[in-house]
């Protein structure tokens, strides 16, 4: 079954009892038991809820995994995955990882003794250098946020297996429509479902898929024990959003390609980061391991004072956190999504004060290009 079809017919669909073609919203906390201590599949909605189960089975189908789990946010999903590890364990993470992931690793997980090293995971040599005797996993974003670097999933998977490490991949930017990390050997794939999977800026959630049932059972134990679950209303909204994911991702990418080409030719732009551009260092690799290049673009306009001038002239791009919605969003990573990373570290990575990140929406491309042109031209 092709992905577009699977997004509509995958997982658990409809309701056999009533014939409803949409999974009902089970707004319930507890379930009647035939006898004390015996349940019919559900006992308490922290442990399991039919609406959430339908969503979890859908994302497992789309990623080609053994089990899926839905959390209250992307960071709740990341945190639950990190709680698979013990005090004294060491994790290698992508260097320009999302600021929230950086924060939870350096200010929360470190309190319970989980160590983190941030490495350029697009370089297998750098990963090898970062491995310690107590290393337990490699955590990868590809493409990265916000510099859109590409990691070779096959090679990093081989490296992880050689050293007996788990490979965890954040697939938020590409979604299962464009990229399936488990097929390259990843053990866990996760998403901030708030972004492209939901797609309409109206739901916050996180999803995790495991390659094996055994690893899934470990994660479910943590999900049930810590309680960071997604509610039935938000689970239903995510399933509704995911039905059109394929169509939206194609529209996002179509617009992003044209915007990236425009930015590359504009005199006010010093550098453009977009994997779909032939000049991007990870372009050929992205072509090999994904079926599309997504809708995220970052570009540098040099001086920090130029940022506010450009953003102040835009009419269609909304200045906001988050990404992956039908409307175009624009942000300044140094001030917003990556503000929790020390400035020296940000500059070292290339996250400059003049870096702007665009989440390209599905509006008419002519309107978006005109808006950007009017905002950038005065910098001449």
* Residues with catalytic roles: 46, 98, 170, 195
Task: Return d(Cα 334, Cα 351) in angstroms, integer.
Answer: 7
Question: Residue 155 class from Cβ within 10 Å (0-12 exposed, 13-18 middle, 19+ buried)?
Answer: middle
Pair 171, 190: CB distance under 8 Å: yes
Residue whose structure tokens are 């943590």? 222
CA angle 274, 264, 324 (to 5 degrees): 35
H or E element in which residue 330 lies:
strand 329-331
Q: Burial level of 21, CB count in 10 A (0-12/13-18/19+)?
A: exposed
186 DSSP assignment: -
Q: What are phi and psi of 187, to 5 degrees?
A: -95, -30
Asked whether the CA dihedral 326, 360, 95, 305 is positive or negative, the reply is negative
């Amino acid at each position: 079954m092709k992905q577009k079809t699977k997004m509509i017919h995958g997982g658990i669909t409809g309701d056999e009892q009533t014939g409803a073609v949409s999974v009902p919203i089970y707004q319930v906390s507890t379930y009647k038991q035939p006898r004390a201590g015996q349940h019919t599949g559900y006992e308490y909605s922290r442990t399991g809820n039919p609406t959430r189960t339908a969503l979890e089975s859908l994302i497992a189908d789309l990623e080609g995994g053994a089990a899926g789990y839905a959390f209250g946010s992307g960071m709740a999903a990341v945190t639950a995955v990190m709680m698979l590890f013990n005090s004294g364990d060491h994790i290698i993470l992508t260097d320009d990882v999302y600021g929230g992931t950086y924060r939870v690793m350096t200010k929360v997980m470190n309190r319970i003794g989980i160590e983190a090293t941030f490495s350029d995971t697009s370089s297998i040599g750098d990963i090898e250098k970062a491995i310690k005797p107590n290393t337990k996993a490699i955590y990868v974003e590809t493409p990265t946020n916000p510099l859109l670097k590409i990691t070779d999933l096959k090679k990093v998977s081989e490296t992880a297996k050689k050293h007996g490490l788990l490979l965890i991949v954040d697939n938020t930017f590409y979604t299962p429509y464009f990229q399936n990390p488990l097929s390259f050997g990843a053990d866990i794939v996760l998403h901030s479902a708030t972004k492209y999977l939901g797609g309409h800026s109206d739901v916050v959630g996180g999803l995790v898929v495991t390659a094996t049932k055994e690893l899934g059972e470990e994660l479910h134990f943590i999900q049930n024990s810590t309680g960071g679950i997604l509610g039935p209303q938000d689970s239903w909204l995510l399933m509704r959003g995911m039905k059109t994911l394929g169509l939206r991702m194609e529209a996002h990418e179509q617009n992003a390609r044209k915007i990236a080409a425009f930015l590359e030719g504009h005199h006010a732009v010093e550098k453009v980061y977009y994997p779909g551009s032939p000049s991007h260092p990870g372009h050929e690799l992205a072509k090999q391991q994904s079926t599309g290049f997504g809708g995220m673009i970052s570009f540098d306009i040099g001086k920090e004072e130029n940022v506010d001038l450009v953003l102040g002239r835009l009419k269609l791009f909304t200045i906001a956190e988050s990404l992956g919605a039908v409307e175009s969003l624009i942000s300044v990573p140094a001030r917003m999504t990556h503000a929790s990373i020390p400035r020296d570290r940000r500059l070292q990575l290339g996250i400059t004060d003049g870096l702007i990140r665009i989440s390209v929406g599905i509006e008419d491309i002519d309107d978006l290009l005109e808006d950007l042109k009017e905002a950038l031209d005065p910098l001449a």
